[in-house]
Amino acid sequence: MRGRRTRDDNAPARLRRRAEHSLRRSGDPVGVVPLLHQLARIASPTSEDAAFAHQKLAELLAEEEPWRAALYARRVLQHFPTSHRAWAVLALSQSTLGHFRFARTAYQRALELAPKNGSYAHNLGHLLDVALGDPHAAVPWLRRAHDGARSDPSVAASYAHALGRSGRWADAKKVLGRALAHGPTRELSALARWVERRSDDVAVRPPAARHAPCGSARIVSQPGAHEALSRTLRLGLERLPFSDEQRSRARELARDATEQARLSVTRTRSSESLAAAIAYAIVFVDEVPLTHAEVAAPFRVPVAQLRGCFAELRAELRITRGDDRYAT
């Protein structure tokens, strides 16, 4: 009996070693999920083995099942409140769910615990710029991330985007120039065109027009469904590195969505979710290197809502890759 009890006591440690081995070797980490569930069941809730299982489950499920991932992250924090990794994955899951202010707080907590982590600084800065619409607050975080990872094109792109939206077009050009020298990517090239176009536009635009509100006073004060969609789409597109042609195609697609497919704003389909789906349709058609989460963020809608609305839009208008009607 004593030998059997010893083996049971060692079971969590053995399971954890198996899970760690599988995570290192497996090409599909999701296949490790059953092992992690088993470890979470048999390990003491306050043990490091349980925290390991819940942390890995949260990391693996953060984008596909963010609600469950948030629960696992909270279980880690219940017993290990200073785990910066748990705070970071909680932030990621909340961001995916569309809870951007909660995500901001969680990333800030992760950075308090791990101030030199460039990945957290990048994620927080990107969230502030794209999701919360505060590029000025984003710049210091993205500068910190960029200083530690100058060769990372995604960090350079995020930093340049925030600089541009802050009105610092010359600085954005410098960041992109250095990044492109390391090796051009589709994202960097698209962003460079956006920065060039916007900086030229600002240079020739009359000062009073630079700060003019989007839409007329009538639309802002008494928006109808179509006007609300148009305004929401325009505001969201301004935060995405789209060309003028792509924005024009998005507006055409919006007209087709409302006139041909008869999609309208309803209790379950907000103007934000429909506008996000229209924007993602351009990403889909042109194969722009942007994720669902990156497109959803400027419209402040959950990723799941974007996916559902885009699936409906795609089916109604029969949208395909490289669709001649909407391709740039």
| Residue 328 falls inside a structural domain | no
Using 50, 70 and 90 to split pLDDT, how confident is the model at 201? low
Lowest-pLDDT range of 51-60, 194-203, 235-244 = 194-203
| Residue 324 falls inside a structural domain | no
CA distance 162 to 157: 9
Using 50, 70 and 90 to split pLDDT, how confident is the model at 217? very low
Whether 36 and 19 have beta carbons less than 8 Å apart is answered as: yes
Residue 200's pLDDT is what?
66
Residue 165's pLDDT is what?
87
The answer, yes or no, to whether residue 182 has pLDDT greater than 80, is yes
In tens, the pLDDT along 278-298 reads: 999 999 888 888 888 888 888
| Residue 102 falls inside a structural domain | no
Mean local confidence (pLDDT), 140-167? 91
Q: Which domain holds residue 298?
A: 225-317
Looking at the fold, whether 267 and 188 belong to one and the same domain comes out as: no
Looking at the fold, whether 80 and 8 belong to one and the same domain comes out as: yes
CA distance 223 to 149: 44
Mean local confidence (pLDDT), 50-60? 91
CA distance 97 to 301: 8
Looking at the fold, whether 190 and 268 belong to one and the same domain comes out as: no
Residue 212's pLDDT is what?
30
Q: Dihedral angle at the C-alpha atoms of 41, 42, 47, 49, nearest 10 degrees?
A: -80
**Which residue, 165, 200, 235, sits at the end of a domain?**
200
In tens, the pLDDT along 230-273 reads: 888 988 898 888 888 889 899 988 888 887 767 766 655 678 88
Mean local confidence (pLDDT), 116-127? 93
Whether 72 and 54 have beta carbons less than 8 Å apart is answered as: yes
